[in-house]
Structure formats: structure tokens, C-alpha cells
Chains A and B, each alone.
Chain A
């Protein structure tokens, strides 16, 4: 129980598109994740992966079901609490990096700490450590448009680590990268998982990358299956 970081049961998500129509994207997801796991969620586009990730990352709320993230009951939390959870418990890594274009790498990494109220000196210190960890200390004064895709993603990973979150949620982190830089990013995730014990959830449609993780879950038409289950339901 102490080791469980995510406990989801029967999560349902519906979108209302005009009065009579509602679109149910998630049909009842059960998911438990232990601390220190590196797991991947695979599935084709439109299967509901990103919707599930938004709910896991407390960016969105489930329509039904219960979700406990690191001992916090998400459905009971106020919006302000959700902001704080995203800030401290979750580190997002996006496919298209989402760095703030006007500021340099260092300031981008400092951003989550700024919202957490860390003072300027401590913030800069930690941001430099993190950039050194991802091998970007040489380029910390460059703006995102002066960085290559792989460099941007490394900055984004450093930013995700800023407040030492409980989980890292990576949505297609290598989707915009060539295979060589994608490899570098994946190695970084392995390193974080191995050396710092970070829980990492990788969302991808690349089964090769998914194969590197400890557990593979498959999203199919709004339902989540273990690898074994998938093979059982869809033989061949």
C-alpha cells in the first residue's frame, strides 16, 4: 500500500460535444502503479492515451471513478490543489517540448520552482545541477530556438525533474526526434529510473521503445489491457 503511487479504479471520461451528444473516451480504467516502476502505455491514435495521461497528470478530471495519486484523492481536490500537485508531484515531458520560447534553458528549468516559491538563488543552483545532469550545462543560456530537438527535450526533462516529482509523465517524448537523439532521451529516462528511482510512465506508439520498459499496457478503444490480456483477447 505504501508503495503504490497511482491507484485508479473504474475511471470514465466523457466529453460533451453539443447537448445530446456525449463522447465516452475512457470506459472504466483500472490502473495501479508502484513506486519506482518504469511502464509504458501503447496504443494507436484515438485510443485515449493522451486523455488518460491528462487525468494521471491531474491536468484533467475523470467524469467517474476514483483516483489516488501519492495519497491524494484527486476527485476531492480543489483546482488550486491540482495546480500544486502538477507542480510538485508530476513532471511532464511533451512530444513538442513546450519550452517557453522567450527565455533561455536555465529560466525554463527554473519555471516549476518559481511556481513552487523556491528562492532565486536556490532555484538557479538546482536548475544548473539538473542541466548538468542532462548534459546541457554548456548551453543553458541559449533560447529554445537556438537548440536542436534533442537538446530541447533534454531541457524539458530537466524541467520535469525540477521539483523532484513522484512521477514523470512522458507523452511521445521521442516522437519529434530522430532515432539517435531519441535513443539519448530514452537512456536518460532509464538513468533516472535506475539511479533516482523515479516512477516513469511512457506513452508511445513505438512498441520497440515500449519493450524496454518494465511493464507494457495497451490502450484499446478506451480500455487498458496488460500485454498478456491483449494477446489473449486478440490472438495473432
Chain B
């Protein structure tokens, strides 16, 4: 009497009552498909968020000035520290020293200087722009894709030239989408109190950032970045000799979270005696980790709630197994008279309950995968159930089969054969 025999017996038992078996499975199907569906949508959602964040550069570490009494760091290039005394700013020397100190661990340094925002106008058409002064490393660190023209060279920075990079959105608005014709054109930008003339040297692909994408402005009026040499921006802004923040990119093999801590310690040596300001470093990876942790916790919590339906399904299985044992009392008596031991009988019914749950689980996984696929399509990142969630579901279904099948099976096993044979 082996497992194969038990499976065959159980299968015959189920075939005899197809409709009943299917209805019993329904509880398990609903439970497993909701768990799988939720986990899949969850992984799609977290994939979509981490994908967007990674596109900003997973190895990036933003180092920013922070007021000592203020616990909120100046985030990124657009964080503003008002009325900061220029002597407190991060200087080129500090950044140079940091690059030297960590050498190969840092593959890029990106500087960005906010130079205000305004409107670029051409022949009655307009496009909103934010002026950002950047260095040569900025485009790499922030993975900005050029669609036409070139990026910045050292001579642009050192020469404080007026060549700029514009977004393809601006090209759409002003040049009717023809990026090639935009190259070399003069761009007039109206700021609050001045009018500037730039020369377009390149066009980059505009991407909706996950953070900025939530603004309410209409598609037409979105502010896109206009990149100009950082030195040029500084000249416009009044010749301040430093930065409020900058971004470095850790080499692929480097632990960027550890590097962030080390860089923060290194930079803070310059600010050890500064009563007002200090430096904080935040790595994109640690941000990613915390986002992932939160998303993971949410989907696990939701699947646990969905898992309650599995318990309900399990009780349904137990109920139907008890009915089945009662119905087959004479059969059990006959089997015992023919030499079946208690454990033979127990095994037969437990395997039957496991098969109900296993088939229910497999159907549930298929439905869950379809639900999860559709759901994740809606959140923008196609995901399929992970192997581990499939394995877990199969294991969990079998466990439910054993747990809720044991009591009815044991009841069958302990039937007195004489009573059972006499049962009408």
C-alpha cells in the first residue's frame, strides 16, 4: 500500500462526486488566488516604484547641507537653503578632496545649481523651464539620455559657455518635435527680472519622475529642466563660491550604503566647527530598501487577510470529508474486513483531502496569476507570481489538506469494522 495506490483511490473517490469536489475546492481556489493575486500585484507595484527610483541611479548618494536645528535635509538639487551665508557652502575643494579620498569607489560626481525658472519663448510659442546648472558628471550620474546633439565637455564648464540642453518636450512645444532643427538654435528665456539667451547644443529625453509626476500642472505647462554649465549658472546667480548639495555615484561593486556613511563622516570634518550647518548623505539604495520593505510588508499583510479565506476553505474541506466518511461507512467496514489497517484507511482519506486542496491550489494559482497579471498591468509593471509564492501556495494547500483532513480520516480509521459493515 503505497502513496500511488492512495492517490489512485482518492482520485476514484473524487471522480464519483465531481460537482461536490469542485464546490469544496472553491474555497481553496478563492483563497489561493487572492493570495497569489495580491502578492503579484504587490511585486509589480514595488517593481514599478524601484524601477523608477533606480532609473534615477541606484548607486547615487546625495550629499546635502543641513541646518543643525532643522532635521530635514535639503533634498537633491532643488532643495533650497534660504539666505545661506556663502562661507557655509560646500566648495569645489571639499568635493575634490572627497573624490581623491575614495578614488575608484566614486565613478561620478554630479553638481547641480538651481538657477531659477522661467519661460522659453519662440515666435509666440512658449515652454516652461527650470534652469539647472550642471557639471559634466551630472548627465551620467542622473542617467539622462541624449536624443540629439551632445552633452557638456570640460571646456563648456570652464569657459562658462552658454550652450544648453533642452528636453524633447520643449522641442515639441517650440520646434514642432524636430530635434535636429533645434540644434544650434538660439533660445530666449524670460526669467522674473532678466532675459537670457542660450544656444541649444543637445536634446535629452524627458522622463516623468516618480516624485515630480504627481504635480497637477497640465501636460503642456510642465516645467522641464534646462541644463546649462554650472559655472554659467553661478555667474547668473551672483558668483556664490559653493553648492548646497551634490550627488556622487558609487562604483557598481561598492556598497553604496556604507559609502554614504563614510562620505558623510568625511564631509562633516569640514563642518565640525560650524555652529549652523552640517552635511548629510543619503543613498538611493537605502531609500530603495526602505521602499521595498514597506511594500513587502503591505503585501504580506494583505495576503494574510486573504489567507483567512483559506482557513474558511479548509473548514469546507473538513466538512465534506466528514460527509464522505459517513457515506462510505460500509466501504470502510469492507476494506477493514479485507485487511486494511487503520493507517491504510487514514492515509486514503488524508490523501483525498490533500488532493482536493492541491487541485484547488493549482487552479487558484492559475486564477491568481491571471488576476495578478491584470492588476500589475494596471499599476504599470507587468509581474508574474514568483516561484517562491507558487511553492508556498502549493505547500500551504497541502498543509491545509493534511490539517483539515486529519480529523475526518482518523474518524474513518477508528471505525469499528462490525459496526461499519452493519451500517445502512
Mark A residues whose CB is within 8 Å of B.
Answer: 54, 57, 59-60, 79-80, 83-84, 86-88, 92, 94, 98-103, 111-112, 114-117, 159, 163
In the assembled complex, which residues on chain B have CB atoms less than 8 Å from the CB atom of A92? 337-338
How many A-B residue pairs have C-beta atoms within 8 angstroms? Tell me: 62
- With contacts A59-B417, A79-B342, A103-B12 taken as known, whether A98 is within 8 angstroms of B1 at the C-beta atoms is no
Indicate if the CB atoms of B418 and A100 lie closer than 8 Å. no
Indicate if the CB atoms of B344 and A98 lie closer than 8 Å. no
A159 to B341, CA, bound (A): 18
Query: Chain B contact residues: over half helix, strand or loop, or mixed?
Result: helix
A79 to B335, CA, bound (A): 15
Given contacts A86-B337, A115-B340, 14 further A-B contacts (CB under 8 A): A59-B337, A59-B417, A59-B418, A60-B418, A79-B341, A83-B341, A83-B342, A84-B341, A87-B338, A87-B339, A94-B421, A99-B334, A100-B335, A114-B1
A94 to B335, CA, bound (A): 13
- Most-contacted residue by chain A among B13, B333, B337 (CB, 10 A): B337
Indicate if the CB atoms of A83 and B334 lie closer than 8 Å. no
Task: Return A46 CB to nearest CB of chain B, in Å.
Answer: 14
Indicate if the CB atoms of A115 and B1 lie closer than 8 Å. yes
A230 to B338, CA, bound (A): 34
In the assembled complex, which residues on chain B have CB atoms less than 8 Å from the CB atom of A116? 339
B411 lies within 8 A of chain A by Cβ: no
Closest to A83 in B: B341
In the assembled complex, which residues on chain B have CB atoms less than 8 Å from the CB atom of A54? 418
Indicate if the CB atoms of A115 and B12 lie closer than 8 Å. no
Indicate if the CB atoms of A102 and B417 lie closer than 8 Å. no
Closest to B333 in A: A98
A218 to B421, CA, bound (A): 24
B16 lies within 8 A of chain A by Cβ: yes
Mark B residues whose CB is within 8 Å of A.
Answer: 1, 5, 12-13, 15-16, 330-331, 333-342, 344, 417-418, 421
In the assembled complex, which residues on chain B have CB atoms less than 8 Å from the CB atom of A88? 339
Closest to B12 in A: A102
In the assembled complex, which residues on chain A have CB atoms less than 8 Å from the CB atom of B330? 98
Indicate if the CB atoms of B418 and A83 lie closer than 8 Å. no
Task: Return A119 CB to nearest CB of chain B, in Å.
Answer: 10
Pick the residue among B331, B338, B342, B421 that contacts A86 (CB under 8 A): B338
In the assembled complex, which residues on chain B have CB atoms less than 8 Å from the CB atom of A159? 338
Indicate if the CB atoms of B341 and A80 lie closer than 8 Å. yes
Task: Return B19 CB to nearest CB of chain A, in Å.
Answer: 15
Indicate if the CB atoms of A115 and B342 lie closer than 8 Å. no
Indicate if the CB atoms of B338 and A111 lie closer than 8 Å. yes
Task: Return B415 CB to nearest CB of chain A, in Å.
Answer: 12
In the assembled complex, which residues on chain B have CB atoms less than 8 Å from the CB atom of A57? 337
Task: Return B18 CB to nearest CB of chain A, in Å.
Answer: 12
In the assembled complex, which residues on chain B have CB atoms less than 8 Å from the CB atom of A112? 338-339
In the assembled complex, which residues on chain A have CB atoms less than 8 Å from the CB atom of B16? 102
In the assembled complex, which residues on chain B have CB atoms less than 8 Å from the CB atom of A87? 338-340
A60 to B333, CA, bound (A): 12
A173 to B227, CA, bound (A): 101
Question: Which 3 interchain pairs have the tightest Cβ spacing?
Answer: A87-B339, A98-B334, A83-B341
A62 to B5, CA, bound (A): 33
Indicate if the CB atoms of A117 and B338 lie closer than 8 Å. no
- Most-contacted residue by chain B among A98, A101, A116 (CB, 10 A): A98
A80 to B339, CA, bound (A): 9
Indicate if the CB atoms of A83 and B421 lie closer than 8 Å. no
A122 to B330, CA, bound (A): 28
Task: Return B133 CB to nearest CB of chain A, in Å.
Answer: 82
In the assembled complex, which residues on chain A have CB atoms less than 8 Å from the CB atom of B417? 59
- With contacts A94-B421, A103-B12 taken as known, whether A115 is within 8 angstroms of B344 at the C-beta atoms is yes
A80 to B340, CA, bound (A): 9
Task: Return A126 CB to nearest CB of chain B, in Å.
Answer: 15
A102 to B17, CA, bound (A): 10
20 contacts between A and B (CB under 8 A): A54-B418, A59-B337, A60-B418, A79-B341, A79-B342, A83-B339, A83-B342, A84-B339, A86-B337, A86-B338, A92-B338, A98-B330, A98-B334, A102-B16, A103-B12, A111-B335, A111-B338, A115-B340, A115-B344, A116-B339
A79 to B340, CA, bound (A): 11
Task: Return A82 CB to nearest CB of chain B, in Å.
Answer: 9
Indicate if the CB atoms of A100 and B334 lie closer than 8 Å. yes
A87 to B1, CA, bound (A): 13
In the assembled complex, which residues on chain A have CB atoms less than 8 Å from the CB atom of B338? 86-87, 92, 111-112, 115, 159
